[in-house]
Amino acid sequence: MGAQSFVALWLLSIFLSNGFCLPVARDQNKAPAEVKRQKDFALTNSLGVLQSMDSRLQKLVKEVQLETNEVEALAKVAKNKPGSP
């Protein structure tokens, strides 16, 4: 009888310490980590979008500067022609 009660108490303590191995308890413990990963993923995606927009704007600025330089060069050439007013 003593051995059976010892085994019963031992099993009871094992089950209580592990939370009866319920997946609900484990999911609740993992939930904050899952939310953090989702937030990190969202931040990474938004950062990527911002960087993409920034690079597009930089390309557009370069194109406008090149066009401006071309127009200025054409204006100087036209101004320096002997037949221009």
pLDDT in tens, 35-66: 677 777 777 778 788 888 888 999 999 999 99
pLDDT attached to residue 50: 84
9 found inside a domain: no
> Rounded distance, CA 56 to CA 46, Å?
15
14 found inside a domain: no
Question: Number of folded domains in the chain?
Answer: 1
- Burial code of 13-49, b = ≥16 C-beta within 10 A, e = fewer? eeeeeeeeeeeeeeeeeeeeeeeeeeeeeeeeeeeee
65 found inside a domain: yes
11 found inside a domain: no
34 found inside a domain: yes
> Rounded distance, CA 41 to CA 65, Å?
36
pLDDT attached to residue 35: 67
40 found inside a domain: yes
Q: Which domain range does residue 39 map to?
A: 22-80
5 found inside a domain: no
Which pTM value belongs to this model? 0.43
